[in-house]
Amino acid sequence: MKLNQISLAVAVALAAPTAFATLTPEAVPGVQKIVLSGATAPDGFVESSVKEMLQPATIKSYRDTATASAFAHRAWYGLAAAGIPGVAVNTPILLVKRSKGGSVWGVDPVARASRIESLDFASCVVGGAAAGDAGKVYDYFCPTKGLDPVSPDFANPALNNGVVSDFGVSDVSPSLFKAPYNVEFGQSALSAAEVAKLTIKPVNTVIMGLVATNDVPLTTAITRADYGNMLMGNIQDWTQIDATLGGNTQVVVCRRVNGSGTQASYNWFFNNFPCESAFNGQKPPTSMYTDNTSGLGGQSGVDAANAIVIDPTAGYTVVNNSTSGDVRNCLKNAQNHVDHTIKSDDGKYYVVKFSNSGSPFKAMGVLSADSYGNESGWTFRNIYGAGSFTPATQTGSVDATGIAPSKANLLSGAWDFAVELTMQYRNASVTNVQGDVVPALAGTKLSFTNELIKRSGDPAKIALNSKVNAYAALPDAYNPFANATNEAHTALGSHEGNMCKPMVRKY
């Protein structure tokens, strides 16, 4: 009866926006706050899964106010729906998703139980439409609180009021996050003992893409070698690929920061890192900090008004973006020759002065197919050929050649630039650097987490997802020929949770 009274009180609060606005979701009696950090690529997938696990009429949505064009933190509050094993109906749930920094934040902070930056629910204000966020409307906008490892005060518990992730999501398995190219700024790779404290579950597979701004003609054919060598700086001008090109022909690379699972995916596919211990004469991926032709301008980078300047008109240009949204904006701004300002993983602000030219730039980028539908000034391209690909219709441009990043090619293995997502949580108690003794994930929170992971890998769930054409279930857990849904949404092969293994055809 007491539980029913609590649920009734929560329902009343939700029915009265004024009353709810004075009550933070963390203060709701019995609320189960679950923090998920990591990969940005499956953000849409996580959102749809969470919303179907909460009663629709009770859901309240939250977003950070860090930027007007891309979120780094989101959350959803609501009452648990029926059908979640181990979770009572009407249990108040607050699911927080941190996307800032990428996949490694779904691995290292989880294993180390580190406090990290997250939403400050006590200081939220009434929300509204979110510019640049697919026209979505949020109930509340919230500032953030807490410090990340880049801060000198990170380990001081008196100065760091951040939160600890309960579980994480990464575009690739934790084993790929090795130094020096796949570890977040200022951090070290996990030890074997730290990895052992994680329960790691393969989820599904997602297409990774080749993307280019519209100023790169669709007639320009791109091979795997071309794309990889642009990422490595061996090719610094598009005329090395297509001698007919004019305008701004210098290569602009809109990449992700180290520690991003998306970036680790490109390092794996084009550099075979960390599957090989050395590059065997190959150059590693280039970085904004060391490889821009213009160098870095003499500003402090302490804020956007004093952003460090990068001049893309000088030649080869690399931009380290913290989120997939930043990469999309980098591509769009390059095409529209509009300045691109970011806060990168070193905590400093940078501005790429695309406005220094009156013409578009030919940029390429690092994005998964979860960005399908967000193309603006850029397109997904075929590999080993020319042309672009339209995900909504699953068709290529006129006279397209090569292999398209289609769902059919993902299922068959013909598009082999695809990675297998994992989700992981602590299976043992951990004492973090702030001195907190953080137990293993357990109880209602573990039950909700396991159900979210399960639904994420279910072909039926993928069939309902808005990014359905980007994902496939894995044959390790599902027979692709068991039924029509499985046949349409389950791959025929997998890397069996280890991206350094060749793909194994299972059916």
Question: Under a CB-based contact definition with an 8 Å cutoff, are residues 119 and 62 in contact?
Answer: yes
Model-level pTM?
0.79
Query: Is the pLDDT confidence value at 442 over 70?
Result: yes
Task: Please report the pLDDT score of residue 178 as a whole number.
Answer: 86
Query: Is the pLDDT confidence value at 280 over 80?
Result: no
Query: Is the pLDDT confidence value at 409 over 70?
Result: yes
Task: Please report the pLDDT score of residue 7 as a whole number.
Answer: 42
Mean pLDDT score of the chain = 90
pLDDT in tens, 113-128: 999 999 999 999 998 8
Query: Is the pLDDT confidence value at 42 over 80?
Result: no
Question: Under a CB-based contact definition with an 8 Å cutoff, are residues 106 and 424 in contact?
Answer: yes
Query: Is the pLDDT confidence value at 101 over 90?
Result: no
**How much is the average pLDDT of 171-182?**
86
Task: Please report the pLDDT score of residue 22 as a whole number.
Answer: 47
Question: Under a CB-based contact definition with an 8 Å cutoff, are residues 391 and 373 in contact?
Answer: yes
Give CA–CA dist 320/132, Å, rounded.
Answer: 20
Give CA–CA dist 106/372, Å, rounded.
Answer: 23
DSSP string covering 255-315 = EEPTT-HHHHHHHHHHH-TTTSSS-TTPPPPP-TTT--TT---S---SSGGGPEEE-GGGS
Tokens representing residue 416 in the block: 């082999």
DSSP category for residue 469: G
pLDDT-derived band at 132 (thresholds 50, 70, 90) equals low
Task: Please report the pLDDT score of residue 18 as a whole number.
Answer: 33
Helices of type H across 160-223: 192-195
**Vertex 348: Cα angle to 140 and 133 (nearest 5):** 30
Tokens representing residue 50 in the block: 């969470």
Query: Is the pLDDT confidence value at 15 over 80?
Result: no
Task: Please report the pLDDT score of residue 12 as a whole number.
Answer: 37
**How much is the average pLDDT of 250-272?**
93
The H or E element spanning position 76 is strand 73-79
Query: Is the pLDDT confidence value at 24 over 50?
Result: yes
Tokens representing residue 361 in the block: 């730039």
Tokens representing residue 273 in the block: 């890192």
Give CA–CA dist 470/208, Å, rounded.
Answer: 9
The H or E element spanning position 454 is helix 443-457
Q: Does domain 208-418 have CATH number 3.40.640.10?
A: no
Task: Please report the pLDDT score of residue 466 as a whole number.
Answer: 82
Bridge partner list, 340 = 352
Q: What is the dihedral of CA 119, 120, 126, 130, to 10 degrees?
A: -20
Which amino acid is residue 316, in one-letter code?
Answer: Y
